[in-house]
Structure 1
Amino acid sequence: MSAAIGGGFGLVMVSGIEKRVEEKYKVLPQKAEVAGAYTGNIAIKKLAPVVTNLAGSDSDWVRVEASIVYKPDGEQNSDVLVSEMRQDILSYIRTMSLAQIQGPSGLLHLREDLNERARLRSKGVIQELVLETLIVQ
């Protein structure tokens, strides 16, 4: 008999605690979901590899493979954007030395500079230039 009374009392306590916890979480404000950087109407297009030598050296060569993430619209042709970006990458890398692109910080600066050039060239249509490979030999 005592076991039955104790069990019943335990069930009443547990259900009361569950109700209080549920009420507490219902009162808390719901967190708004943060939209990711790649939401909405976007597309990705791969650029043909860019191969060039570095500034001041005939023996140091660089090969860059990249893609652009852009907002497709009827105003700008994606093939034109790709061609312009390849031209910008080529002309920019030809001005760099090997010391400027060495190490993680050099790669980060290169990526940031190319992204800035992409946004300026496309007037904001290109959201990001994604470096896929960078080979220096």
Structure 2
Amino acid sequence: MAEDDITDVEAAAVPAPQLFPSLLPWLIAMGGISVLAIIIGAVVGLAMASVARRDAQAAVLAAQPTYSNVSLVDLPPVITNLADPTSAWVRLEAAVVVDKQTTTKPDVLGAEIADDILGFMKTLSLSQIGGASGLQHLREDLSERASIRSQGHVRELIIQTLVVQ
């Protein structure tokens, strides 16, 4: 029995093996790395957002046209029927923004642009000018035609009224 007592005393003196002896330092290290990654990500994200915001503001300012040394020329009203349906009539009143220095006869140029718009409007159908996107495409097409007709002297065409009956 004495031998049994010795083995019991030895067993009691030897600590039981731990299942995860290095788990606590590992968790502390991973937590520290995670906190560091969150801080670095926030700093980089804020820096990128400020750069993107500054670039967006610069792009908006660069895209805005400057209106110095320009004049607004009203075009004569254009009244015509559409290609489809032929019973639909359209009245378009517009104005163009023209360079003052390069345009010698803005009234003559306005009449030529109105004549060009008349010919273009006769080729359109009602579905082509319907809705917001149709109106935007019409304005872009007319502005491009006016710029070509004036050899680049017209900066923009402004649609004042568009009535379809």
TM-score by length of 2: 0.59
| Aligned residue in 2 for 1:76 | 104
Q: Is 1:65 aligned to residue 93 of structure 2?
A: yes
Secondary structure in 2 matching 1:83: helix
Give the total of aligned pairs: 106
Consecutive unaligned residues in structure 1, runs of 5 or more: 1-30
2:121 corresponds to which of 75, 93, 107 = 93
| Aligned residue in 2 for 1:131 | 159
Structure 1 residue ranges (4+ consecutive) displaced by more than 3 angstroms after TM superposition: none
**CA distances 1:80-127 after superposition (whole Å, capped 9, x unpaired):** 110111101100000001111101111011000000001111111110
2:82 corresponds to which of 54, 58, 63 = 54
Structure with greater proportional helix content: 2
Give me the whole-angstrom Cα distance separating, in 2, the residues matched to 1:92 and 1:129: 14
| Aligned residue in 1 for 2:133 | 105
Which residues in structure 2 correspond to 1:16-31 (within 5 Å)? none
Give me the whole-angstrom Cα distance separating, in 2, the residues matched to 1:125 and 1:38: 14
Higher relative contact order (CA 8 A, sep 6+): 1
Q: Residue type matched to 2:93 in 1?
A: E
Consecutive unaligned residues in structure 2, runs of 5 or more: 1-56
TM-score by length of 1: 0.71
8 Å Cα contact 2:80/2:89 also seen in 1? yes
